[in-house]
C-alpha cells in the first residue's frame, strides 16, 4: 500500500467535516461572506504533511486553512409533502438550501 502523502487537512464547518487539499473547491453550508472574499477556517481536526500527521484533540493548534469565496447560491429544490389518508389533509412545501462555494488556497500550521 504505497499511498501518496500529499498535504491535506480535515476541517469542520457548518456541522460537517471536509477533506481539503490546496486547489480543491468545496460546497459548504451558507457563510455570511461576499464573493471574492478570503476566509480562514481554523477548526482543523487533522493535518497531514510530508513530515507526518498531526491529530487534534479536538483541534490542531495553530493550523489554518485559507480559502477564497467562489460564490453563493441555492441548491436544488426538495419537495416536502405531508399526507394523511381519509382525512382530506395534504400539505405541500418546498425548500432550497443555501450554500457557499470555497476554493482552498493554502494550508498553514
Q: What is the pLDDT of residues 70-89, one digit of tens each?
A: 999 999 999 999 999 999 99
**C-alpha distances in angstroms, 54 versus 6, 8, 43, 60?**
13, 11, 13, 7
Mean pLDDT of the region 18-42:
94
Mean pLDDT of the region 45-57:
89
pLDDT of 87 reads: 96
pLDDT of 3 reads: 52
Distance CA 105, CA 44 (A): 15
**Phi, psi at residue 2, to the nearest 5°?**
-100, 100
Reported pTM: 0.82
Task: Please say if the pLDDT value at position 16 is more than 80.
Answer: yes
**Phi, psi at residue 76, to the nearest 5°?**
-65, 145
Q: What nine digits make up the cell of 38? A: 478570503
Amino acid at each position: 500500500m504505497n499511498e501518496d502523502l500529499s498535504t491535506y487537512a480535515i476541517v469542520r464547518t457548518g456541522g460537517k467535516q471536509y477533506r481539503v487539499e490546496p486547489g480543491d473547491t468545496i460546497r459548504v453550508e451558507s457563510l455570511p461572506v461576499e464573493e471574492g472574499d478570503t476566509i480562514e477556517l481554523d477548526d482543523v481536526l487533522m493535518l497531514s504533511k510530508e513530515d507526518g500527521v498531526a491529530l487534534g484533540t479536538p483541534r490542531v493548534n495553530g493550523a489554518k486553512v485559507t480559502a477564497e469565496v467562489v460564490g453563493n447560491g441555492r441548491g436544488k429544490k426538495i419537495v416536502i409533502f405531508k399526507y394523511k389518508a381519509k382525512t382530506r389533509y395534504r400539505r405541500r412545501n418546498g425548500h432550497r438550501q443555501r450554500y457557499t462555494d470555497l476554493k482552498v488556497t493554502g494550508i498553514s500550521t
